[in-house]
C-alpha cells in the first residue's frame, strides 16, 4: 500500500517522476496547505497541469474495473512513488477534470429552508438522470456529489461505478453504510444499486426544506436524518412520512415509503423522479380522469397514481386521501386545501364541501376555511 505521505512527496517533487504528464503543480489553499481529499481507496489531489485545473486520483488500494470506468483517463505506470530514500515503484493514476463547487455534504451543513428546497430540486434532477440510465455510481452520498456554481449537481469518486459491460460481476465495494440498504451484498451490482441512496437523500432534503428543525432532532452527520439500519422503526422516517402526509406532498410521501419496501432496488423510483422533475402538463377544459393502478389512485393525464383514495373532480378540486389524511387537490396535483383530522370528506358542490371532523359534520370553502354546516 502506498501512503498519502509518499504520494505527497512525489507530487511536490514531480520533476522526472512522471512518464507522460511532465510537471505537476500541486494546488494549495489560502493557508498554503496542499489541496487534496482522502477516501478509503484513493487520494485526490487538486493540481494544475498544462494550464488547467485537474483532479489526480492516486490509489492506496486500487479497485477493480478502473480501465472500464475511466478509459484513457487512466494512466498506466504514470507516477514514480518513492517507498523510501532509495526504492520506489511506478503506479497507475487517473487524470480527471476538476469539478468546481462545494460538496452536497458541505452545503447541507449551512443550509436554511430555502437552500434545502433548491438542493432538493437539483438533486432530483440528477437522480432522475441516474435512475433512467443503465449505469450506477455505486457509492452515492453527499460527500460524492458536488454542487457547481450554477446549482447543478455532479457526482465524483466513481471508482465503484457500474457499467453495462460489468453485468454478472461482483461489486468492488458496498458503498457507505449510512446511505446504503443494509441488505446490499457484493452480488448486488447492476444499474439499480443507486435506487435506495437516491430515495433516501431526496427524501431527507425535501423534508429539511419543509422543516429544517429535523436537523437538530435527528442529525445530519453520520446519517442524513434516516438510519438505514433501522428502517422499520426509524423515528426520523416516521416523522418525515407524517410531515409529507400533513402537507399533502404525495410524490415525496411515495418516494419515502419506498425506503420501507424491504429491497434495495426500487422499480417505481425512476417514474416518480421523472414526474418530480417534469414541467407541469397543460390541463385542458375537461377535468382529469380518476383511475386506479396497483391499489393507488391518480388522474389522467396529469397526476400519476399516488393517493390511497380519491374522488372525481368537481368545481376544479378533487378530494384525495394520503395515508390517513384527506386533502383537496387542483388539476395539476397541487394541494389546495388540507383537511387534518377529518375522518371523511365529500366533493365540492356550490362552492363548499361537507367534511366529518371529530364526529361532527362541517363544511369547508374553497378558501380552506371550515365552518358550521348550513342546513
pLDDT at 374: 64
Cell numbers for 167 = 453485468
Residues 145 and 193 in one domain: yes
Residues 225 and 315 in one domain: no
Residues 91 and 145 in one domain: no
Residues 224 and 314 in one domain: no
Q: Write down which residue in 45, 68, 97 finishes a domain.
A: 97
pLDDT at 39: 82
User: pTM, whole model, 2 decimals?
Assistant: 0.94
Q: Torsions phi, psi of 108, nearest 5?
A: -60, -40
Q: What span, in angstroms and rounded, lies between the C-alpha atoms of 177 and 223?
A: 9
Residues 334 and 300 in one domain: yes
Residues 270 and 295 in one domain: no
Residue 283 lies in a domain: no
pLDDT at 288: 94
Residue 114 lies in a domain: yes
Written as tens digits, the pLDDT of the chain (375 aa) is: 888 999 998 898 888 899 999 989 999 999 999 999 988 889 999 999 999 999 999 999 888 899 999 999 999 999 999 888 788 999 999 999 999 999 999 999 999 999 999 999 999 999 999 999 999 999 999 999 999 999 999 999 999 999 999 999 999 899 999 999 999 999 999 999 999 999 999 999 999 999 999 999 997 667 899 999 999 999 999 999 999 999 999 999 999 999 999 999 999 999 999 999 998 776 778 899 999 999 999 999 999 999 999 999 999 999 999 999 999 999 999 999 999 999 999 999 999 999 999 889 999 999 999 988 765
Which residues, including other chains, have CB under 8 Å from residue 87's CB and lie 6 or more apart? none
Evaluate whether 146 touches 154 at the Cβ level (below 8 Å): yes
Q: Write down which residue in 68, 97, 126 finishes a domain.
A: 97
Residue 50 lies in a domain: yes
pLDDT at 1: 82
Residue 284 lies in a domain: no
Q: What span, in angstroms and rounded, lies between the C-alpha atoms of 179 and 343?
A: 37
Residue 128 lies in a domain: yes
- Domain limits at 93? 4-97
Residues 59 and 141 in one domain: no
Residue 207 lies in a domain: yes
Which residues, including other chains, have CB under 8 Å from residue 164's CB and lie 6 or more apart? 134, 135, 191
Q: Write down which residue in 71, 97, 123 finishes a domain.
A: 97
Q: What span, in angstroms and rounded, lies between the C-alpha atoms of 352 and 367?
A: 9
pLDDT at 294: 93
**First vs last Cα of the chain: how many Å apart?**
83
Residues 82 and 123 in one domain: no
Residue 47 lies in a domain: yes
Q: How far is CA 283 from the centre of its chain?
A: 29
Residues 175 and 264 in one domain: yes
Residues 234 and 323 in one domain: no
Evaluate whether 21 touches 78 at the Cβ level (below 8 Å): yes
Residues 359 and 232 in one domain: no
Residue 175 lies in a domain: yes
Q: How many domains does the chain have?
A: 3
Say which CATH number the domain at 293 has. 2.40.10
Say which CATH number the domain at 218 has. 1.10.510.10
Residues 38 and 143 in one domain: no
Amino acid at each position: 500500500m502506498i501512503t498519502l505521505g509518499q504520494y505527497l512527496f512525489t507530487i511536490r517533487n514531480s520533476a522526472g517522476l512522471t512518464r507522460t504528464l511532465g510537471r505537476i503543480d500541486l494546488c494549495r489553499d489560502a493557508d498554503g496547505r496542499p489541496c487534496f481529499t482522502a477516501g478509503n481507496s484513493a487520494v485526490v489531489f487538486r493540481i494544475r497541469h498544462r494550464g488547467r485545473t485537474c483532479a489526480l486520483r492516486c490509489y492506496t488500494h486500487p479497485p477493480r474495473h478502473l480501465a472500464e470506468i475511466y478509459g484513457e483517463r487512466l494512466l498506466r505506470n504514470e507516477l514514480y512513488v518513492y517507498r523510501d530514500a532509495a526504492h520506489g515503484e511506478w503506479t497507475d493514476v487517473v487524470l480527471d477534470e476538476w469539478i468546481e463547487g462545494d460538496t452536497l455534504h458541505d452545503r447541507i451543513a449551512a443550509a436554511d429552508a430555502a437552500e434545502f428546497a433548491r438542493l432538493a430540486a437539483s438533486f432530483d434532477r440528477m437522480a432522475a438522470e441516474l435512475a433512467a440510465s443503465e449505469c450506477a455510481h455505486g457509492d452515492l452520498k453527499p460527500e460524492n456529489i458536488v454542487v457547481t456554481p450554477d446549482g447543478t449537481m455532479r457526482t465524483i469518486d466513481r471508482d465503484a461505478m457500474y457499467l453495462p459491460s460489468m453485468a454478472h460481476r461482483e461489486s468492488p465495494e458496498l458503498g457507505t453504510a449510512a446511505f446504503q440498504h443494509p441488505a446490499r451484498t457484493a452480488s448486488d451490482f447492476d444499474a439499480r444499486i443507486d435506487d435506495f441512496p437516491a430515495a433516501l437523500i431526496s427524501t431527507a432534503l425535501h423534508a429539511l426544506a419543509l422543516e429544517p428543525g429535523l436537523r437538530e432532532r435527528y442529525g445530519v452527520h453520520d446519517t442524513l436524518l434516516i438510519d438505514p439500519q433501522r428502517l422499520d422503526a426509524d423515528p426520523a422516517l416516521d416523522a418525515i412520512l407524517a410531515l409529507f402526509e400533513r402537507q399533502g406532498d404525495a410524490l415525496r410521501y411515495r418516494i419515502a415509503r419506498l425506503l420501507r419496501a424491504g429491497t434495495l432496488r426500487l422499480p417505481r423510483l425512476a417514474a416518480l423522479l421523472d414526474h418530480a422533475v417534469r414541467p407541469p402538463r397543460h390541463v385542458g377544459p375537461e377535468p382529469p380522469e380518476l383511475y386506479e393502478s396497483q391499489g393507488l389512485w391518480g388522474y389522467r393525464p396529469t397526476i400519476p397514481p399516488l393517493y390511497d383514495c380519491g374522488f372525481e373532480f368537481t368545481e376544479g378540486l378533487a378530494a384525495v386521501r394520503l395515508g390517513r389524511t384527506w386533502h383537496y387537490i387542483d388539476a395539476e396535483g397541487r394541494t389546495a386545501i388540507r383537511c387534518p383530522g377529518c375522518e371523511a370528506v365529500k366533493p365540492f358542490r356550490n362552492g363548499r364541501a361537507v367534511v366529518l371532523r371529530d364526529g361532527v359534520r362541517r363544511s369547508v370553502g374553497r378558501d380552506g376555511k371550515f365552518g358550521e354546516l348550513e342546513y
